[in-house]
Amino acid sequence: MTKLVTIYGGSGFVGRYIARRMAKAGWRVRVAVRRPNEAIFVKPYGAVGQVEPVLCNIRDDASVRSVMSGADAVVNCVGILAEAGRNEFDTVQAEGATRIARIAADESVGKLVHLSAIGADLESDSEYARTKAEGEAGVLNEMPTAVILRPSIVFGPEDQFFNRFASMTRLGPILPVVGADTNFQPVYVDDVAKAAELALTESVEPGVYELGGPEVDSFRGLMHRMLEIIHRRRLVANMPFFVARIMAFGFDMMQTISLGLFTNSMITRDQVRNLTNDNVVGEEAKGFAELGIQPVTMASVLPDYLWRFRPSGQYDAIKDSAKNLRT
């Protein structure tokens, strides 16, 4: 019988790539999400009935267990960058991750892959980083054979990093960033999905794997790379941390006072705390090399989806070429 994998958060940015890979590998894929009707796009990843979105609330034991029934493997991709409503860091990233692992152990699931993040730290003053670490600890306590993947910032066609800042370049001549000197090691989303696939289908040593691409660059450097690709000239302005903290406090307070009617999608105080630390693979950490994966470069992927932010979009290259024509 064809094996079954349940992917919690399988319609998200990274989860959808894992779902696609597992479907191509011949597995049945159960995509557990809060809004199945908004995840219909995953169904064509496989044959009819091979990939199915199902309703799940990771805050509830019965809901988590029901979508895990009969699964041979489980992947947890659920995570949040900012709190909103009932989706709090502790509830989602610590308690939710531990719940999935505990129930996977109860159900005798063969393999578990948990998606975390570089920078996860029990001692961090960032709620995001601390709860990521608590989630990892809970997963390994319940299932010591689990594989935990810690990617740096993930890029790809649906990302909320390069797409977001490329969109901001349309608003004016200045591109403001917080933590311009903070280093990142961007990793392509399908390389992360490939690591998850290997952990599910091959014999991979349990433990934590930190995943970063072949290039390390500062926030400012990444913005300059992006600007070169989209053919725009902008001043990358570094916003001092003390200014960013004041702005983030204001946005957070607006969300609190409005009782959630206003959602802070700009920048939060917790995100400012995270931006004070480099986001790169540790020197002693296991990573792509141990998995036998050669990660792709940013230059080989970014132009494929950032072209739409060029001044003339898909016609930008044609206009540049036309300038060379003789009159």
Which string of DSSP letters, residue by residue, matches 47-72? STTTEEEEE--TT-HHHHHHHHTT-S
Q: Report pLDDT for 71.
A: 97
Q: Which two structure tokens, joined as six digits, stand for 224?
A: 């300059």
Listed as ranges, residues in the chain with pLDDT below 50 are: none
How many CA within 13 A on the CB side of residue 134? 18
pLDDT digits (tens, 9 = 90+) for 3-14: 999 999 999 999
Distance CA 307, CA 315 (A): 9
Quick one: CA torsion of 78, 76, 95, 288, rounded to 10 degrees?
Answer: -100
Q: Report pLDDT for 1.
A: 60
155: CB partners within 8 A, 6+ apart = 161, 162, 186, 187, 188, 189, 298, 301, 302
Domain parsing of the chain, residue ranges = 4-154+188-212+278-295
* Strand 235-239 versus strand 174-178 pairing type: parallel
Q: What is the CA radius of gyration of the chain?
A: 21
Q: Where are the strands (E) in 34-146, listed by range?
A: 51-55, 73-76, 111-115
Q: Report pLDDT for 6.
A: 98
Q: Report pLDDT for 313.
A: 86
Q: Report pLDDT for 226.
A: 98
Class of residue 259 by CB neighbours under 10 A (exposed 0-12, middle 13-18, buried 19+) = exposed
Q: How many CB atoms lie within 10 A of CB 90?
A: 14
What CATH number does the domain located at 4-154+188-212+278-295 have? 3.40.50.720
Q: Provide the b/e sequence for 128-140 (b: ≥16 CB within 10 Å).
A: bbbbbbbbbebbb
Quick one: CA torsion of 19, 25, 27, 28, rounded to 10 degrees?
Answer: 50
Q: Report pLDDT for 327.
A: 53
Q: Note whether 226 and 162 are within 8 A (CB).
A: yes
Q: Which two structure tokens, joined as six digits, stand for 154?
A: 């993930």
Angle between helices 61-68 and 97-106 (to 10 degrees): 50
pLDDT digits (tens, 9 = 90+) for 143-193: 999 999 999 999 999 999 999 999 999 999 999 999 999 999 999 999 999
64: CB partners within 8 A, 6+ apart = 8, 32, 56, 57, 58, 99, 100, 103
Distance CA 79, CA 116 (A): 8
154: CB partners within 8 A, 6+ apart = 13, 14, 161, 186, 187, 188, 189, 192
Q: Can you say how many angstroms the Cα of residue 124 is from the centroid of all Cα atoms in its chain?
A: 20
End-to-end CA distance of the chain: 68
Q: Note whether 81 and 154 are within 8 A (CB).
A: no
Q: Which two structure tokens, joined as six digits, stand for 49?
A: 């009935």
